[in-house]
């Protein structure tokens, strides 16, 4: 099982490379979609780390992957400036995907 990073900045990529995780730096929607195409071709990649800024560019695409594919697991990570999401964002995602209201 491999992890792969799709990042919007070189600093995040450099840090992940130190941990042995390969990845790419992209900035536009077209580049993000191409990166995912490449990920889908490699069946060993089971976890994709993606920076929050990039998720904001393609939120519907990410949601579609999460709901309709068993792999890869998509994990949003903050960039070097920290997270923009509230602390309970994971709980909110789970509640939304299960149709629960808090």
Angle between helices 29-41 and 59-68 (to 10 degrees): 20
Domain harbouring 92, CATH code: 3.40.50.10580
Predicted confidence at residue 61, as pLDDT, reads 96
Average pLDDT in the chain: 87
Which residue segment(s) compose the domain that 33 sits in?
2-98
The pLDDT confidence band at residue 80, using thresholds 50, 70 and 90, is: low
Q: Are strands 22-25 and 73-77 parallel, antiparallel or unpaired?
A: unpaired
The structure tokens listed for 61 are 């695409």
Number of structural domains (the chain) is 1
Mean pLDDT for the stretch of residues 16-21: 93
Predicted confidence at residue 78, as pLDDT, reads 83
């Amino acid at each position: 099982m491999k992890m792969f990073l799709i990042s919007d900045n070189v600093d995040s990529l450099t840090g992940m490379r130190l941990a042995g995780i390969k990845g790419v730096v992209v900035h536009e929607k077209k580049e993000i979609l191409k990166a995912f195409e490449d990920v889908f071709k490699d069946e060993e990649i089971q976890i994709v780390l993606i920076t929050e800024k990039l998720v904001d560019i393609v939120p519907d695409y990410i949601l579609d992957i999460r709901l309709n594919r068993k792999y890869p697991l998509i994990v949003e990570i903050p960039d070097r400036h920290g997270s923009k999401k509230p602390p309970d964002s994971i709980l909110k995602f789970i509640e939304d995907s299960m149709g629960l209201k808090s």
